Amino acid sequence: GAGVSQSPSNKVTEKGKDVELRCDPISGHTALYWYRQSLGQGLEFLIYFQGNSAPDKSGLPSDRFSAERTGGSVSTLTIQRTQQEDSAVYLCASSLDATVNTEAFFGQGTRLTVV
Partner 1 sequence: GENVEQHPSTLSVQEGDSAVIKCTYSDSASNYFPWYKQELGKGPQLIIDIRSNVGEKKDQRIAVTLNKTAKHFSLHITETQPEDSAVYFCAATSDTDKLIFGTGTRLQVFP
Q: How far is the CB of 24 from partner 1 (least distance, A)?
A: 14
Distance CA 107, CA 115 (A): 24
25 near partner 1 (CB under 8 A):
no
Cα angle 86, 88, 71 (rounded to 5 degrees) comes to 85
96 near partner 1 (CB under 8 A):
no
CB of 54 closer than 8 Å to CB of 75: no
108 near partner 1 (CB under 8 A):
yes
Of residues 61-90, those binding partner 1 (CB under 8 A): none
Q: What is the CA radius of gyration of the chain?
A: 13
Contact footprint for partner 1 (CB under 8 A): 4, 33, 35, 41-43, 45, 48, 50, 53, 56, 58-59, 91, 93, 98-101, 103-109
